[in-house]
């Protein structure tokens, strides 16, 4: 054999999946010994275009999680919700979403993830129009629940479709980094989008942004994204779906009640109900041949640790934004657009951190990268805790940038670990666990940290004499309500009310920030312990 034939590759092409993947094997003849290189699983331009399409619902859902927190002051002045209704306007969406994500991930594995994505997109767009024109707080809460139902179809589909499109580990890590950066950036972009829209339009415009985002998704997804599903999904388990909802909703409701009203037998009963449903759910999954959620995944330290890191990171992010968005607008008196601009540096930092961590994790253990990011988040809460009521817009913007740096890095790595340790045919269920952690974190961020702020406000606010019963009720429940009342009464009374209300709102910032900092310290330790065996 000549030297030329000894080194010439013999290429065998393999079937190509929906035009997204170059799959080939190459055999080299070397001294009579065949050396076979594995298939090239990297995707071409079509695969990256598919990623761009999948980023549309990612950005939309994550923006929707936080844009309403920024619009809440305006909504409070327009719809005059009670304190409980105000929290439910925020929490209904992520709460219902968290309860349905595992079920929708399982349904997507069965009927097809792309099909479920398209159904969710159409429904989400239609309900967004209804929410934009809600005439009362109660109708807005119902619309938010309906948005969550269709939103639960979108998110598990995006991450699981990424797993099926990007088979090459390095390409998949970059794709997930872009996905996570988009998710984190969307959460940070929410207040900025809200600021721009509220500067020029009414509060319902924050919902209408879904329509122009989802139209190109519905058109392009069938053209660019290949369908994928579990080849052996088993039957749909309706009882498990019910149990997954029952184990989440009562617990979060109980947390909200305890934070605003204190302990009661009702809240204890709700905790017990959620715990019982959770135990029944786990037991059922362990005994079924094809469970909706394979609980054995949680025996893998990298998987369970990454899920918990996801949850705790989002608690910190959403709780931080809940406080900052109201402090900037209602305490410092900034216009929505100016308040949004204070968060722009953090948005940029979050995106850069999510992408920059991809090459870093090849040289540094994932546990160190994630723990370092979470430690930065603890520092951000410490900055707010030390500055307290005197915090300026610059100080809060800087603290948010530090928080964003840590969250951006931690979210990218944790999502990559979650999706990489499971078989491809279970990607939908694993993605749903990741999304459930995110949404549950969003609920707890508002329910725990937000409710503590509300409780401090209600205990500390001093109302001036001369208010009607309705005005007194509105001003005593929320800062947004107090601002609305201050605009209706004589200037001297309004000034006194605003001073008292703003001082009362900030009275809980030390306790809230301390809890956030301790939470991030705990998450840092958790990452070092549970992710220590993970490799980049």
Domain locations in the chain as residue ranges: 3-37, 46-237+288-458+508-530
Phi and psi of 389, rounded to 5°?
Answer: -70, -15
Report which listed range, 14-18, 122-126, 178-182, 449-453, is most confident.
Answer: 122-126
Which range has the worst mean pLDDT, 28-32, 53-57, 318-322, 402-406?
A: 28-32
pLDDT of 533 strictly over 70: yes
Orientation angle between helical segments 393-420 and 301-326, nearest 10 degrees: 160
The per-residue pLDDT for range 374-383, each reduced to its tens digit, is 999 999 999 9
Q: From CA 196, how far away is CA 204, in angstroms rounded?
A: 13
CB burial of residue 140 (10 Å; 0-12, 13-18, 19+): buried
Confidence of residue 10 (pLDDT cuts 50, 70, 90): very low
User: What percent of the chain is helix, strand and coil (3-state, nearest 5)?
Assistant: 80, 5, 20
| Percent of the chain with pLDDT strictly greater than 70 | 84
Confidence of residue 243 (pLDDT cuts 50, 70, 90): confident
State the chain's mean pLDDT as an integer: 77
Give the length of the chain: 536
pLDDT of 86 strictly over 80: no
Pairing of strands 9-13, 33-37: unpaired
Model pTM score:
0.70
- Fold annotation for 46-237+288-458+508-530: Growth Hormone; Chain: A; (1.20.1250)
The per-residue pLDDT for range 457-492, each reduced to its tens digit, is 888 888 888 788 878 887 887 787 788 788 888 888
Residue from 179, 198, 174 nearest 68 by CA: 198
Which range has the worst mean pLDDT, 4-13, 108-117, 211-220, 303-312?
A: 4-13
Q: From CA 134, how far away is CA 215, in angstroms rounded?
A: 22
Confidence of residue 228 (pLDDT cuts 50, 70, 90): confident
C-alpha distance from residue 224 to each of 131, 212, 310 (Å): 30, 19, 29
pLDDT of 420 strictly over 80: no
pLDDT at 60: 79
Phi and psi of 375, rounded to 5°?
Answer: -65, -35
Report which listed range, 251-260, 273-282, 462-471, is most confident.
Answer: 273-282
| Percent of the chain with pLDDT strictly greater than 90 | 6
Q: Could you tell me which residue, 183 or 150, shows the higher pLDDT? A: 150
316 contacts 373 by C-beta, under 8 angstroms: no
Residue from 168, 170, 155 nearest 428 by CA: 155
pLDDT at 273: 92
In this structure, what DSSP letter does residue 197 have? H
8 contacts 15 by C-beta, under 8 angstroms: no
Helix (H) / strand (E) containing 413: helix 393-420
Q: From CA 175, how far away is CA 62, in angstroms rounded?
A: 17
Q: From CA 40, how far away is CA 157, in angstroms rounded?
A: 25
Q: From CA 77, how far away is CA 80, in angstroms rounded?
A: 6
pLDDT at 331: 80
Angle (nearest 5°) at CA 532 between 527 and 534: 105
Dihedral sign for Cα 220, 222, 223, 225, please: positive
Confidence of residue 279 (pLDDT cuts 50, 70, 90): very high
């Amino acid at each position: 054999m000549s030297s030329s034939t000894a080194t010439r590759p013999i290429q065998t092409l393999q079937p190509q999946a929906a035009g997204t993947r170059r799959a080939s094997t190459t055999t080299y003849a070397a001294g009579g010994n065949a050396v076979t290189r594995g298939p090239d699983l990297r995707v071409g331009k079509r695969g990256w275009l598919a990623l761009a399409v999948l980023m549309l619902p990612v950005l939309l859902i994550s923006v929707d999680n936080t844009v309403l927190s920024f619009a809440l002051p305006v909504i409070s002045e327009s719809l005059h919700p009670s304190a409980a209704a105000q929290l439910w306007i925020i929490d209904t969406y992520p709460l219902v979403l968290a309860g349905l994500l595992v079920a929708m991930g399982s349904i997507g594995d069965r009927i097809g993830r792309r099909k479920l994505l398209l159904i969710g997109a159409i429904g989400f767009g239609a309900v967004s129009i209804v929410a934009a024109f809600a005439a009362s707080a109660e109708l807005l809460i119902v619309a938010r629940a309906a948005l969550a139902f269709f939103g639960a179809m979108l998110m598990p589909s995006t991450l699981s479709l990424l797993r099926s499109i990007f088979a090459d580990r390095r390409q998949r890590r970059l794709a997930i980094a872009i996905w996570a950066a988009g998710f984190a950036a969307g959460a940070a972009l929410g207040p900025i989008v809200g600021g721009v829209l509220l500067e020029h339009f009414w509060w319902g415009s924050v919902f209408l942004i879904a329509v122009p985002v989802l139209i190109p998704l519905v058109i392009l997804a069938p053209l660019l994204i290949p369908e994928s599903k579990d080849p052996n999904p088993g039957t749909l388990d309706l009882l498990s779906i019910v149990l997954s909802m029952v184990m989440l909703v009562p617990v979060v409701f109980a947390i909200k009640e305890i934070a605003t009203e204190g302990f009661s037998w009702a809240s204890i009963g709700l905790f017990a109900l959620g715990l019982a449903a959770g135990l029944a759910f786990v037991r059922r999954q362990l005994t079924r041949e094809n469970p909706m959620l394979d609980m054995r995944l949680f025996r893998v330290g990298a998987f369970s640790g990454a899920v918990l890191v996801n949850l705790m990171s989002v608690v910190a992010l959403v709780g931080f934004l809940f406080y900052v968005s109201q402090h900037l607008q209602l305490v410092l008196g900034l216009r929505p657009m100016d308040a949004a601009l204070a968060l722009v540096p953090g948005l940029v930092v979050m995106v850069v951190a999510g992408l920059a961590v991809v090459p870093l994790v090849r040289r540094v253990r994932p546990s160190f990268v994630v723990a370092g990011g979470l430690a930065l988040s603890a520092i951000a809460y410490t900055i707010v805790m030390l500055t307290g009521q005197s915090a300026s817009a610059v100080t809060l913007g800087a603290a948010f940038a530090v928080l964003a740096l840590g969250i951006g890095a931690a979210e990218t790595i944790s999502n990559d670990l979650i999706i990489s340790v499971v078989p491809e045919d279970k990607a939908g269920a694993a993605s749903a666990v990741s999304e459930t952690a995110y949404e549950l974190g969003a609920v707890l961020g508002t329910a725990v940290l937000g409710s503590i702020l509300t409780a401090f406000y209600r205990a500390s606010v001093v109302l001036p004499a001369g208010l009607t019963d309705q005005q007194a009720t509105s001003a005593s429940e929320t800062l947004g309500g107090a601002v609305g009342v201050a605009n209706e009464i004589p200037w001297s009374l309004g000034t006194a009310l605003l001073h008292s209300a703003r001082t009362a709102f900030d009275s809980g910032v030390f306790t809230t920030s301390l809890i956030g900092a301790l939470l991030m310290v705990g998450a840092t330790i958790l990452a070092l312990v549970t992710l220590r065996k993970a490799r980049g």
